[in-house]
Amino acid sequence: MLRYLDIGNNNFIPSYNLFVGFGIAMAMLFLQYQKPFKTKTDNEKHKIHLSLIVSILVGFIGAFIFDAYSQNIALTFDNLNQIGLTFLGGLLSGLMILVICLKLASLPILPTLNILAMPFCIAHFFGRLGCFMAGCCFGSPTKSFLGVTFPIDSLPHNHYHELIKIHPTQLYESAFVLCLFVFFTKFKTSNQFYIYILTYSVFRFIIEFIRADERGTVLNQDIFSPSQIISLLTVILFTALIITNKQFQKQTINL
């Protein structure tokens, strides 16, 4: 609801940046106290930290570039203020680099990603709260009791040109990843990362139907949003990986 937080002396902090930064910090802090991470050697911990830092930086760049592509905005210095961030574009580009870094560091990829699943949820949760504060990624009009009215001069108000109740899709997403985090704490699951990436992709595909902000287009079609296309491809890719992995396990057992 507040795009900028006043810290005095005419100094302001973008609320989105603040929440994202806080989310990453809390995720890294939580990681330190996870039992599977604490059992790692200092060298392995250092490699994981370094891999995360590199992947986060690349993820932000990927989110920025994908948004420019989907919005058909040229990547020039004059257009930088017109380009936003696409979460799924950043998540997958950062994940790709993370996998490469873990491979180069000779660390087990899937077990490490499983350790990182809950920290991912924490950063994701606070990131979407930042979206809510900034007013971006907003939803379509609704008469539901869940509807929220954003203030004058907010991004939703500038879009609708009136004060109306809209779906707080940012909060829906935060609630989803919070429930996923609680699920991981209550139930022992061997592949938390697969659960995170697949369930979120399905959720994101569905929530896109009540999003109303400008998200651009990809593949010269306007049936599905860019994030829905990424969600579909993600589900297909990771489902194939799971099936292949199971087949590999069966072959190993048979040997």
Q: Tell me the C-alpha distance between 209 and 91, whole Å.
A: 20
In the chain, domain spans: 4-254
Q: What is the mean pLDDT of the chain?
A: 90
Query: Quick one: residue 221, left, alpha or beta (phi over 0 = left, psi -120 to 50 = alpha)?
Result: beta
Q: Tell me the C-alpha distance between 139 and 156, whole Å.
A: 8
Average pLDDT of 232-247? 86
Q: Tell me the C-alpha distance between 83 and 196, whole Å.
A: 27
**pLDDT for res 14:** 85
Residues 70 and 77: beta-carbon distance below 8 Å: no
pLDDT band, residue 250 (cuts 50/70/90): low
Average pLDDT of 81-88? 81
Cα torsion through 95, 96, 102, 107, rounded to 10: 80
Percentage with pLDDT > 90 across the chain: 70
The long-range contacts involving 78-84, CB below 8 angstroms and separated by at least 24 positions, are 84/136
Residue carrying the six token digits 């194939």: 240
**pLDDT for res 247:** 55
What digits encode the pLDDT tens for the residues 175-193?
A: 999 999 999 999 888 889 9
Q: What pTM did the predictor assign?
A: 0.90
